[in-house]
Amino acid sequence: MLREATAADLDEICALIRELAEYERLADQVNFDRDELAGWLFGDSPRAWVTLAEPDDRPGTVAGMALWHWTFSTFLGRPGIWVEDLVVRPEHRGAGLGRALLASLFERSPGRVEWAVLDWNEPAIAFYRSVGAHVVPGWTRYRWTGDGVAPAR
């Protein structure tokens, strides 16, 4: 079963973020402020949303999530969805929850659903291929955190 997260789910969302970071060997990069995260997800003007997955036989048990936000494609002329994080806890994998989370996002998007995956994460890559996703050739992802030289105005 899928449902939209509420502020009451914040502790589970934080736990899933930390679990994913451990798995991805990035735990040292997790430094979010819980209250600030709550504001971005559940405040007056949310910037990201979370869809939660619960196993049908254990309602109320959070098995996974998709944390996502809207994007816009100038070439398509319509919005899409960026999946910032998709995680299903190991004990719930193989039950179709990851596929259901992605399908629910695809149904919302009039454009496309996109995400990034670590190049060493073969289980995730195999899963994404199994749902029909493909690598976007020719693109390199950049990140600017404000460190270093500021852009000229």
* Residues forming the active site: 128
Angle between helices 10-23 and 34-42 (to 10 degrees): 110
Contact 49, 69 (CB under 8 A): yes
- What distance in Å separates the CA atoms of residue 1 and residue 92, rounded to the nearest whole number? 12
The CB density around residue 87, as the number of other CB atoms within 10 Å, is 23
- What distance in Å separates the CA atoms of residue 81 and residue 114, rounded to the nearest whole number? 6
SS3 of residue 28 by DSSP: helix
